[in-house]
Amino acid sequence: MTTAEQLTSTLVTAETNDDFSEAVLTLRDGARLCFCHRVGERWAKSVGPVGREHDAGLAEAFLAAITQFRLNAKHLDIQFTDGSRWDERLQDTD
């Protein structure tokens, strides 16, 4: 199973802010993968469940496997060390 497939199977929710510059993927263990992509600022981090923020669990493993990501109004595109890619739309289009 690729890293992208593993992410898909453990993903519970995917949320973004109104201008699509930040996104949070919540995983089955409550850990979160957080992304920021705006002018002059680009980062990804792993955070544990509320109350246990230091215990990043699954999110930490996914973070270590990320080689590149892109976040914009069209999608969140994450590329992993195994060559797999998770590319999902984070909004509904009319």
Model pLDDT, residue 94: 38
Residue-wise pLDDT tens digits, 3-20: 999 999 999 999 999 999
What is the total count of domains within the chain?
A: 1
Model pLDDT, residue 74: 86
Residue 17 in domain: yes
Q: Rounded mean pLDDT of the chain?
A: 92
Model pLDDT, residue 91: 65
Tell me the C-alpha distance between 16 and 78, whole Å. Answer: 15
Tell me the C-alpha distance between 61 and 40, whole Å. Answer: 26
SS3 of residue 85 by DSSP: strand
Residue-wise pLDDT tens digits, 50-67: 878 777 889 999 999 999
Residue 51 CB partners (closer than 8 Å, separation 6+): none
Residue 88 in domain: no
25, 32 contact by CB (below 8 A): yes
Give the residue, 88 or 90, on which the prediction is more confident: 88
Q: What range does the domain containing 69 cover?
A: 3-83
67, 81 contact by CB (below 8 A): yes
Strand blocks (E) in the chain: 11-16, 22-27, 32-38, 41-47, 66-71, 76-80, 85-88
Residue 94 in domain: no
Residue % of the chain over a pLDDT of 70: 96
